[in-house]
A and B are shown apart, each in its own frame.
Chain A
Amino acid sequence: MTASAARQYFAGCGTLFDAAAEACSSYDRCYTIAGRQVVVRTAGAELTTRTSPALAQPSTQQFDRTASDLVVEMWDSATSAVPIGQAPWDPDDLGPLGLVRTYCDDRFLSAVDVHTASLSLFDRATSHGRFWLEDARRMAYWQSASPLRLILSWWAASRGMQLTHAAAVAGPTGAVLLVGGAGAGKSTTSLTCLLDGMRFLGDDYCLVAPGPPPIVHSVYTTAKLQRDALDRLSELRRVVRNTDRLHREKAILDLAGPYADLVGGSAPLRAIAVPRLTGQLRIRPATPGTVIRAMAPSTVFGLFGATERTLAVLARLAADTPGFVLELGDDAGEVARAVAALAETA
Chain B
Amino acid sequence: MVDDALSVRDSGVIHERLDDEVIVIDLEHGMYYALVGTAADIWTSFTRGATVGAVAATLARGYGASLDEVRADVSSFTSQLEAAGLLVASPTAHGDAARVAVHVSPAQWEDPVLEAYGDMANLVISDPARVVDEAGWPHLPDPEP
Contacts and interface: CB of A to CB of B under 8 A. Distances in A.
Interface of A: 84-89, 91-98, 112-117, 134, 138, 140, 181, 248, 287-289, 292-293, 296-298, 300-302, 305, 308, 311-312, 314-315, 318-319
B123 A134 contact: no
Could you say which of B15, B132, B137 has the most chain A C-beta atoms within 10 Å of its C-beta?
A: B137
Contact of B128 (A84, A92, A312): A92
A116 B140 contact: yes
A301 B137 contact: no
B72 interface: no
A114 B141 CA distance: 11
Contact of B123 (A86, A293, A301): A301
Contacts of B19: 287-289, 319
A315 B19 CA distance: 11
Contacts of A318: 18
Contact of B21 (A84, A138, A289): A289
Given A96-B126, A248-B144, A311 B29 contact: no
Contacts of A98: 125
B34 A289 contact: yes
Contacts of B144: 248
B136 interface: yes
Given A117-B139, A297-B117, A319-B18, A311 B25 contact: yes
Contacts of B128: 91-94
A292 to B, nearest CB: 5
A87 B25 contact: no
B23 interface: yes
Contacts of B14: 300, 308, 311
Could you say which of B14, B15, B119 has the most chain A C-beta atoms within 10 Å of its C-beta?
A: B14
A98 B137 CA distance: 11
B102 to A, nearest CB: 19
Contacts of B18: 287-289, 292, 315, 318-319
Interface of B: 12, 14-21, 23, 25, 27-30, 32, 34, 36, 117, 119-120, 123-126, 128-129, 131-132, 135-140, 143-144
A292 B32 CA distance: 11
A296 B125 contact: no
A117 B40 CA distance: 39
Contact of A297 (B32, B129, B139): B32
Given A116-B140, A289-B23, A94 B135 contact: no
Nearest to B134: A86
Contacts of B136: 86-89, 91
A117 B137 contact: yes
A9 to B, nearest CB: 12
A91 B25 contact: no
A288 B138 CA distance: 39
A135 to B, nearest CB: 8
Nearest to A135: B140
B143 A112 contact: no
A88 B129 CA distance: 14
B138 A97 contact: no
A115 B32 CA distance: 21
A115 B120 CA distance: 14
Contacts of A116: 140
B55 to A, nearest CB: 22
Contact of B120 (A94, A140, A298): A298
Contact of B25 (A94, A134, A248, A300): A300
Nearest to A289: B21
14 contacts: A86-B136, A94-B132, A95-B125, A117-B138, A134-B139, A140-B140, A289-B21, A289-B23, A293-B23, A297-B119, A297-B120, A301-B25, A301-B30, A305-B27
B138 A114 contact: yes
Contact of B29 (A96, A115, A292): A96
